[in-house]
């Protein structure tokens, strides 16, 4: 039996899973309520599952339903709130990132009883006392909005929780869905952000960053590893994980120590300024298991970045990508916003050109996406879009499923912005595929190795789609064959060259899989079926062993050839 059912519901748009990570908010709230005398359960999943789920769970004594609302699911939350009030009569409490923008109209449309703005634990606890025990008064609960006698009431904000270490960890037993920690585990090591990026929710709605202690986070990490030994990938999801370099260094020491017992890798976000100011921290993070780093790129225009308040420049971002490449970071992720501050055809062209240059610098590592600008609540750009050369044409995003702009600039319509974003995304994809065909062996093998561990990227998907690259990396990774450089030189003539692509002739031109080659290379490739030694293949080609090895070296450089002992 339990009292509170907390739901995070989104619409399903595709066959691919919506929830690639954990929706930590609902699980953290459930654990806090459970610890404070109000048994709770949490569910994250699709909105079409909601009615049957609530019907089933109502049998367990549910008294209150909580709904998490973000920019993407406002309409869905309204619909489910109405359903709950009409069908079961439970009080409905709405929280989440979008809650700071949910006012009188939302409460009237949804029929929700209260909205919790900002950090949810303490206001939700007071609301549960009110609705289940009849204690307290809505008027005295800080951080909530509600309707009283037909009038909208917005109570003063709730001060943030100072000691985050006092909060309980998410408890898997309180999850009633199938998404929580399905393949990964997420951790929130801090709350808030000291930066003031004009487009960012955290920058617009928090004043300072509050940190959990390294010891507290590592206790949770160890507990997850104990409960779920199958999980090999962690996500540190806060925006400020790398903000305090000393704290980050302590995390890396602890993670490195733990990785001597258990193999895992992890994701984090970083501000480019952090990396540029302390170059050595990259190596430390990678040695501690960092596999994917996300940085803010946003634009290739210095003027646009300045308007965002990013505290970055194109030169700083480019240097960050170079440093990540030099440190051999497996995977770097970044976004470029289309339709943001003072956007024009010229700024978008600059961003596209800048992005293409970054992809070349970070070939095999950088995954760059073109995304629409979204007017998140409480941000400077949402409050005063005209100051950034924008007008918000669809503030509730009723025409968009995060796939179409909801703003226009002074010179570009929604249709213009949509077309330019698609063109940019296509250019990034094309450049990535072009460079995939010419990746160095070491880079390709690194991409493949991490992809096979479940950390897939656009580079991995592209690499896997090219026969010679997929076969080369698979054979070397699985130990079925070796690269030319890894064969003992004194034994090479007795090893068997094995091609990774099919020789073919088309319109008088010779190919090895996807690459055109000359006649000598074609004949050497044909001889390299894996059934002849180097000496035998040379004889079959009627060339000296030295001449054959020169050809084999060129084929191996293009990842068309591996070597087998048998």
- Cα–Cα nearest to 99, from 72, 141, 68, 140: 68
User: Is the residue at 47 inside a domain?
Assistant: yes
Check: CB of residue 455 under 8 Å from CB of residue 291.
Answer: yes
How confident is the model over 38-58, as a mean pLDDT? 96
Query: Are 226 and 367 part of one and the same domain?
Result: yes
Query: Residue length, the chain?
Result: 566
pLDDT for residue 19 = 54
Residue 176 is encoded by which pair of tokens? Answer: 């009633």
User: Is the residue at 164 inside a domain?
Assistant: no
The set of residues, in sequence order, having a beta carbon less than 8 Å from that of 125 and lying 6+ positions away, is 32, 33, 36, 38
User: Is the residue at 532 inside a domain?
Assistant: yes
User: Is the residue at 316 inside a domain?
Assistant: yes
How confident is the model over 402-421, as a mean pLDDT? 97
- Per-residue pLDDT band at 178 (split at 50, 70, 90): confident
Query: Are 400 and 513 part of one and the same domain?
Result: no
Query: Are 506 and 450 part of one and the same domain?
Result: no
Lowest mean pLDDT of 253-257, 308-312, 385-389, name the range.
Answer: 308-312
Can you give the CATH number for the domain in which 141 is found? Answer: 3.40.50.280
Query: Are 411 and 499 part of one and the same domain?
Result: no
- The label of the residue with tokens 């309180």 reads 174
pLDDT for residue 98 = 95
φ, ψ for residue 255 (rounded to 5)?
-65, -40
pLDDT for residue 183 = 84
pLDDT exceeds 90 at position 81: yes
pLDDT for residue 203 = 66
Query: Are 324 and 216 part of one and the same domain?
Result: yes
- Per-residue pLDDT band at 193 (split at 50, 70, 90): confident
User: Is the residue at 162 inside a domain?
Assistant: no
Q: Which is more confidently placed, 209 or 146?
A: 146
φ, ψ for residue 340 (rounded to 5)?
-90, -145
DSSP-derived secondary structure letter, 506:
E
Beta strands in 217-364 (DSSP E): 233-236, 265-270, 290-295, 331-338
CB atoms within 10 A of CB 398: 10
Number of domains in the chain: 3
Query: Are 312 and 418 part of one and the same domain?
Result: yes
pLDDT for residue 18 = 56
Domain boundary among the residues 442, 462, 482 is at 462
Domain boundary among the residues 445, 462, 479 is at 462
pLDDT exceeds 80 at position 207: no
User: Is the residue at 179 inside a domain?
Assistant: no
Query: What share of the chain in percent tops pLDDT 90?
Result: 90
> Whole-angstrom Cα distance, residue 331 to residue 326?
12
Query: Are 507 and 447 part of one and the same domain?
Result: no
pLDDT for residue 220 = 98
Can you give the CATH number for the domain in which 514 is found? Answer: 3.90.930
User: Is the residue at 337 inside a domain?
Assistant: yes
pTM: 0.93
pLDDT for residue 85 = 97
How confident is the model over 524-553, as pLDDT tens digits? 999 999 999 999 999 999 999 999 999 999
How confident is the model over 394-423, as a mean pLDDT? 95
How confident is the model over 225-249, as a mean pLDDT? 92
3-class secondary structure, 96? coil
The helix (H) or strand (E) run that includes residue 465 is helix 458-465
Residue 560 is encoded by which pair of tokens? Answer: 């068309």
User: Is the residue at 389 inside a domain?
Assistant: yes
> Whole-angstrom Cα distance, residue 376 to residue 99?
11
Query: Are 455 and 517 part of one and the same domain?
Result: no
pLDDT exceeds 60 at position 426: yes
3-class secondary structure, 502? coil
How confident is the model over 152-166, as pLDDT tens digits? 999 999 999 999 999
Domain boundary among the residues 447, 462, 477 is at 462
**Can you give the residue range of the structural domain that contains 326?**
184-462
Q: Does the CA dihedral 105-108-112-113 come out positive or negative?
A: positive
Query: Are 316 and 247 part of one and the same domain?
Result: yes
CA–CA distances in Å: residue 411 to residues 391, 407, 416, 421, 513 = 11, 12, 9, 15, 46
pLDDT exceeds 70 at position 21: no
In order, the DSSP letters of 407-444 are: EEESS--HHHHHHHHHHHHHHHHHHHHHHHTT--HHHH
Query: Are 366 and 415 part of one and the same domain?
Result: yes
Can you give the CATH number for the domain in which 292 is found? Answer: 3.80.30.20
Query: Are 142 and 190 part of one and the same domain?
Result: no
Residue 490 is encoded by which pair of tokens? Answer: 């004194």
Average pLDDT, the chain: 95
pLDDT exceeds 80 at position 15: no
- Per-residue pLDDT band at 138 (split at 50, 70, 90): very high
How confident is the model over 506-526, as pLDDT tens digits? 999 999 999 999 999 999 999
pLDDT for residue 59 = 95
Query: Are 304 and 416 part of one and the same domain?
Result: yes
């Amino acid at each position: 039996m339990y009292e509170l059912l907390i739901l995070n519901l989104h619409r399903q748009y595709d066959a691919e899973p919506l929830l690639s990570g954990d929706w930590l908010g609902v699980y953290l709230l459930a654990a806090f309520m459970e610890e404070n005398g109000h048994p709770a359960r949490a569910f994250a999943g699709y909105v079409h599952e909601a009615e049957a789920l609530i019907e089933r769970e109502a049998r367990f004594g549910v008294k209150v339903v909580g709904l998490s609302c973000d920019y993407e699911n406002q309409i869905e939350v309204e619909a489910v709130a109405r359903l709950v009030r009409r069908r079961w009569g439970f009080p409905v409490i709405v929280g989440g990132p979008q809650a700071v923008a949910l006012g009188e109209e939302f409460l009237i449309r949804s029929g929700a009883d209260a909205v919790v703005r900002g950090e949810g634990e303490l206001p939700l606890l007071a609301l549960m006392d009110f609705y289940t025990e009849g204690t307290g008064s809505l008027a005295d609960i800080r951080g909530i909005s509600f309707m009283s006698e037909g009038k909208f009431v917005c109570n003063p904000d709730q001060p943030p929780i100072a000691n985050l270490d006092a909060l309980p960890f998410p408890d898997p037993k309180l999850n009633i869905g199938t998404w929580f920690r399905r393949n990964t585990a997420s951790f929130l090591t801090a709350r808030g952000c000291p930066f003031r990026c004009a487009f960012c929710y955290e920058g617009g709605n928090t004043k300072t960053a509050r940190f959990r202690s390294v010891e507290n986070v590592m206790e949770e990490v160890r507990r997850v590893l104990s409960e779920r030994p199958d999980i090999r990938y962690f996500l540190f999801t806060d925006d400020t994980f790398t903000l305090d370099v000393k704290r980050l260094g302590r995390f890396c020491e602890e993670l490195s120590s733990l990785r001597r017992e258990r193999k895992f890798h992890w994701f984090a976000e970083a501000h480019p300024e952090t990396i540029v100011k302390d170059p050595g921290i990259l190596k430390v993070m990678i040695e501690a298991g960092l596999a994917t780093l996300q940085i803010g790129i946003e634009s290739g225009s210095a003027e646009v970045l300045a308007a965002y308040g990013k505290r970055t420049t194109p030169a700083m971002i480019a240097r960050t990508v170079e440093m990540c490449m030099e440190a051999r970071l497996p995977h770097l992720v970044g976004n470029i916003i289309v339709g943001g501050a003072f956007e024009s055809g010229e700024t978008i062209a600059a961003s596209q050109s800048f992005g293409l240059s970054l992809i070349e610098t970070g070939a095999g590592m950088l995954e760059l996406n073109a995304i629409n600008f979204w007017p998140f609540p409480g941000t400077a750009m949402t409050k005063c879009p005209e100051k950034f050369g924008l007008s918000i044409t669809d503030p509730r995003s009723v025409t968009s499923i995060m796939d179409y702009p909801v703003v226009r600039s002074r010179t570009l319509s929604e249709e213009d912005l949509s077309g330019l974003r698609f063109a940019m995304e296509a250019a990034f994809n094309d450049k990535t595929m072009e460079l995939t065909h010419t990746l160095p062996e070491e880079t390709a093998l690194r991409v493949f190795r991490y992809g096979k561990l479940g950390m897939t990227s656009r580079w991995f998907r592209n690499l896997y789609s090219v026969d010679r690259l997929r076969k080369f990396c698979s054979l070397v990774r699985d130990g079925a064959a070796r690269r030319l450089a890894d064969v003992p030189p004194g034994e090479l003539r007795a090893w068997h060259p094995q091609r990774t692509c099919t020789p073919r002739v088309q319109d008088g031109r010779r190919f090895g899989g996807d690459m055109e080659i000359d006649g000598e290379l074609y004949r050497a490739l044909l001889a390299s079926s894996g059934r002849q030694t180097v000496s035998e293949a040379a004889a079959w080609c009627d060339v000296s062993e030295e001449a054959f090895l020169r050809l084999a070296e060129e084929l191996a450089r293009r990842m068309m050839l591996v070597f087998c002992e048998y």
